[in-house]
Amino acid sequence: KQEVTQIPAALSVPEGENLVLNCSFTDSAIYNLQWFRQDPGKGLTSLLLIQSSQREQTSGRLNASLDKSSGRSTLYIAASQPGDSATYLCAVNGNQGGKLIFGQGTELSVKP
Amino acid sequence: GAGVSQSPSNKVTEKGKDVELRCDPISGHTALYWYRQRLGQGLEFLIYFQGNSAPDKSGLPSDRFSAERTGESVSTLTIQRTQQEDSAVYLCASSGSSGTDTQYFGPGTRLTVL
């Protein structure tokens, strides 16, 4: 059974810092991995999707990496801003069709 | 274009009543998913529709839960005889022709069972 773990559960940083969020998964047989952000009381916003054949994806200040063999992904946020404050979720699309298995999330707070 | 929409945004019901939640996917998306997020917990997969294939119902927690989808359009999630543990935010997502494409989420329906 696929399990997804995110570390840390919460993180508080001053504005301008670079930071890394971690995601690990137990079954390396995945199609892709997706990072989302969730703002309080809102739905999920897709940030990046990495296919299993890819090593990384970049969008603006965000860079996500994938090491499928070791069951790890990281989300790197450069030059963090208060607007980046949200909960970041990692989700794995495994070998059972399109359903996503989510981690518990990392709650990020960026202080001005 | 329009994103995924869900209605109602909030629903308060009494224990034992039936509720119906609606999801309108992005036009042209053949895959549609329902997830549940209970307070303080992660998202749980409930059910997945892909085109005209039989849905993947493996995440439905009990036979009180059911969902339908007409073609590649609207889906409804029905919960019969609601219980307090059904209180959660119910999220719908859709994706393109491949079940492995990016999933786009709606804003969710917050269900409170008193």
Minimal Cβ distance to A99: which of B56, B101, B104:
B56
Interface contact flag, B105 A31, Cβ < 8 Å? no
3-state SS track over B21-76: EEEECCCCCCEEEEEEECCCCCEEEEEEEECCCCCECCCCCCCCEEEEECCCCCEE
Instruction: Flag whether pLDDT at A96 surpasses 70.
Output: no
| Band of residue A97 on the pLDDT scale cut at 50, 70, 90 | low
- Start-to-end CA distance of chain A, whole Å, equals 41
Mean pLDDT of all residues in A19-34: 94
Interface contact flag, B108 A32, Cβ < 8 Å? no
Residues B87-111 pLDDT 10s? 999 999 999 866 678 899 999 999 9
Residue A54 C-alpha, separation from nearest chain B C-alpha, in angstroms: 14
Interface contact flag, A99 B43, Cβ < 8 Å? no
Mean pLDDT of all residues in A97-107: 90
Interface contact flag, A45 B105, Cβ < 8 Å? yes
Instruction: Flag whether pLDDT at B1 surpasses 60.
Output: no
| Band of residue B63 on the pLDDT scale cut at 50, 70, 90 | very high
How many percent of chain A have pLDDT more than 70? 97
